A and B are shown apart, each in its own frame.
Chain A
Amino acid sequence: AQSVTQLGSHVSVSEGALVLLRCNYSSSVPPYLFWYVQYPNQGLQLLLKYTTGATLVKGINGFEAEFKKSETSFHLTKPSAHMSDAAEYFCAVSDPRLADMRFGAGTRLTVKP
C-alpha cells in the first residue's frame, strides 16, 4: 500500500524567505510523486510531478522538488516566497498500475509581509 506523510500542517515564512515543505512517502513499487496546490474555494492545481528520470523536478511558479529514494522523500522548495504563494499544498503518490492517487493531509503555507 502507498501512503504519504507531510511533516507540518502549518508552515509560516516571511516574504522573500526560503520555502520548504516536507513530504515522505511509502510505496512498494517505484512511485510517481506529485505536488498540488489548492487556493481557497478552488480545486487542486498541479505544481510538478516526478515519474522517472531526473530526480530534481522543476514546476510552475518557481517551485521545485527532489526525489530522494534513499530517504523516501519528495520535499518541495522555492528560493524566495511571495505573498501569492499562501495556499494549501498537497503531496501525493501513485502506483502507475492503479487508478487511485494517495494524498497527504496537506500543509498550509502562510507568507508574512
Chain B
Amino acid sequence: ETGVTQSPTHLIKTRGQQVTLRCSSQSGHNTVSWYQQALGQGPQFIFQYYREEENGRGNFPPRFSGLQFPNYSSELNVNALELDDSALYLCASSSGVGYSGANVLTFGAGSRLTVL
C-alpha cells in the first residue's frame, strides 16, 4: 500500500504571497489532518477534513484554509504569508469516522516552507 505523499517537499516564498501544499492520503484512508511543525517544536494541529468537510480546527487564523477532494486527497492553502509561517507542514491520513482518538495517523514526510 502507498503511504502519504506530500508536494512540494521544499519551497521558498516571500512575505505576503500565497502558497498551496498538496497531500495524497494513504490508500483506504478517508480522513486528512494537517499539522504545522516549527523548528524545534512538536507538530500543532491546523485542521482535519472528513468527507470533504472541515471536521475540526486548531488555533490558526482564517488565512489557513483547506480542501479535501472526492479521492480523499487534500490541499492546504495559506494566504498573506508571514515570516512565522516558516515551518514543516505535515499531512496525516487516517481511516474511521474522522476522530483522531482511536485512529492511527499516518504522516507524510512534509513540505518545508520558508518565508523570506
Contact residues of A with B, CB < 8 Å?
Answer: 4, 32, 36, 41-46, 49, 51, 90, 92, 94-106
Q: Return the CB mask of B75-116 against A: 1 if under 8 Å, else 0.
A: 000000000000000101000001111101111111000000
A–B complex contacts, Cβ < 8 Å, 22 sampled = A4-B42, A32-B102, A42-B109, A43-B4, A43-B108, A44-B90, A44-B92, A46-B105, A51-B102, A90-B43, A92-B42, A94-B101, A96-B101, A97-B99, A98-B56, A99-B47, A99-B98, A99-B99, A100-B45, A100-B100, A105-B40, A106-B40
Nearest chain B residue, comparing its CB with the CB of A91: B42
**Which residues of the other chain, A, contact B4 by a CB distance below 8 angstroms?**
43
Bound: A49/B105 CA distance, A: 11
**Which residues of the other chain, B, contact A46 by a CB distance below 8 angstroms?**
104-106
**Which residues of the other chain, A, contact B33 by a CB distance below 8 angstroms?**
99-101
Nearest chain B residue, comparing its CB with the CB of A36: B107
